[in-house]
Each structure stands twice: as structure tokens, then as C-alpha cells.
Structure 1
């Protein structure tokens, strides 16, 4: 059998084929070869980002989901519920803040009814009360006026500010009454005891309801200071 091709017709190993040599010489235009996954892109051409070698093409983005009427209603109800909860929380804080203010105002008002006489004694009857008898809440005895005023055979004073029968206490009389108020530091601190209790109660409300821990500590320490000082001097 005659072979279909001879060694003379086959190109030598490593030799450039004739059409390629002719294309290189400029006589025959070079044919463009499409790049494949094995050969890669042609020299000088920009790489295709959607068809990078070794990477699969990116999947198309899914179409946007349409919001149904039920989902929209559910979203509106949720937003309305969150708004209602926020309003309730705000209302709760406002109410608790008002309660704290009312407690403090009540403490100041109660204390001021006695403290004003212990602090401002000018123009009032000042003197000494000698305790003669004590009952459940009040002690009574004769009042001896000082530089100005008149003596009274019987006036009364809160039993908390006395040590019992026979004690002599510097007092001032409330205008138009026979009620005596102790003067000096003990009387002044005792007059502000209701405010001290109000400060303690307000501190509990601030810490528990409003979560204002620093303010609660400040009010609590102030209340403890007033009550403690009044207990020590009395």
C-alpha cells in the first residue's frame, strides 16, 4: 500500500506551516482565531468580564418580588402597633415624671408650713417653752416671751422635737395661734423632714420607672442626709 502522505509532505516538528509564514510575511492576511477556554483570549484583546477563564457566567438577578395587598396591610398594622407602643411608653414616662414632681412639691409645701417660721423669726413672738406635759402628738407648757411679746400660760409644740417633761426649748409662736415652732438648727432640720421623705420616695420612682439612676442617687442621698441630720440633732 502507498501511504497517503510522505515525510516530505509533512511539516517538520517545530517548523512553521507555509500559510502561516506567508501571513507573517504580509502576503496573506492572518485569520483571526476565536479564543477558547484552552487557548485563552487573543493577545492585545480586552478580557471579557462575563466569560473569565475558569469562572462560570454570573446568574441573572431574580425579578423583584411584588408586595401583595395582605403583606402591605400587615406592614401598616405593624407600623401602627409600633407607633401606639411608642406613644404609650412616652405617656408612661410623662405620667411618672408628673408624679415625681407632685411628690416633691408636696414635700416642699408641707415642710414650708413649719420651716418658714423657724427660718424667719423677725416680727414674731420669740421666747422659751418649758415642757410641762406630753400627750400622744403634742407637748404643752408655759411660754416665756423674750425681749418683745407677752407670756402665755399654755402653748403646745410637736412632741417629736422635745425630750420630755421639764425641758426648756427656744421657740417662736405662729402668728395668731398658740402653736410653737422650735427654732435653731434642730427646729430647722425637723421642719424639712417631710421634704427628706419626699426626696427618698422620688428617688425610688426615678430609678424604678424612669431609669434615671444618677438623678435617683442624688435625690436619695439628699433625702437620707436631711433625715439623718434631723435624727442626730434631735
Structure 2
């Protein structure tokens, strides 16, 4: 294992929490939306599972930095991960984060050990019993971030599907003899999406401005659901 810096040691205060925005779960999200009939709730669960898996691996690895290999294996077993099957004692070269109490984590380095172990578990469907809780109580940064991450992924999925629809218009047989109508159809689709997003934003704002309801998490969750609905409406008939 190779020790690597996450940020300079002069950071004013270390943030020892591993939160969702630290991890890139785009691959897990994309696989989910392409393989389920109920994408919004199901894929939110996938994002939560991907995050908590990596969070708990990160904390187990943090323990490993202050103990020997045998103790590291014990730390993984205690955290709900099968150390022997993961071959924790003989990991291939990968990058550690450093002690969480001493660094301020802003990004994960390339070839980091957290992602290496998580990929192995997900790829091989290795059973685990790690902590999967995402607290939404006071100091609920992880709860807020996972909702925001979901909304961002859904928004991106809508933009991609929208661009695919637009890209298909110039070569469509429907407009081969009438390019003017094709251009108008293109413009209408653009306007339709803008209006649909405007309506969703207005609706979600209305739901969160009532007394005692103003809440960033509620708004992000509402918009995530709205983007998911738009994505499904735009789904090609042949899918």
C-alpha cells in the first residue's frame, strides 16, 4: 500500500467524514437506470449502497494505518467485510488516503484502495454486513449530499437523452422531404424541455416555501424525481 496526500498538512481543520460527493458513482447509476423498470427509487438505493460501501471501506482502511496486517484483517472483518476473500493482507499496489484525523479530504487520488476494494466487492457480488446507515438527523451532510448527487445524475441523464433525440432529427425519414418542419420540430423539443424544467423547478419551490417546509434536501429530492420522470417520458419506444 502506498501512502498519498489528499491535501496539504496545513489545512485549517481536518474533516474526517467520508461523504457522498467524494465518490464518483456515475457508473453504478448508469448501470442501474439501464437495467430497472423503477429507476428513481431503485437507483437512489444503488447510490446509497455504493456510498456506504466505500465509506465503511475507507474507515476500515483508516484503522489499518495504525495497526499491523493481522489487525487490519480483523478491522475489516469487524466492519462486516470478508478480509480473507478480499485478500486484504496482500492488496495490489494502491493509494491510501492517510490518517483521516490528520488530513482534509477533498478528492480521492487515482488508484485509491477504497475504490479498488469496492470494485472487487461489486464486481464479484461478495456478501458483506457493513453499516449501511445514512444519517438524516442533525449534521445530516451525507443525507443531503446523496440526494444532491442523485439529482445531478438524473439531470445529466435527461440532457443526454434529450441530445440523442435532437441528433436523430436531421437523419429522420419523417423530415427527409421537409427540412423546415424538421427544424421547427427541433426547436419545439428544445422549448418543451425548457418549459418542463421550469415547471418542475416552480413546483418544487412551491412545495418547499411553505412554513416549516423550506428545506434544500426536499427541493433536491423533488427535482431528482422530476428529472427521473422526464427521463422516462423521453425513453425511445424501442427500449
CA radius of gyration, larger in: 1
User: TM-score normalized by structure 1?
Assistant: 0.24
User: TM-score normalized by structure 2?
Assistant: 0.24
More strand by share: 1
More helix by share: 2
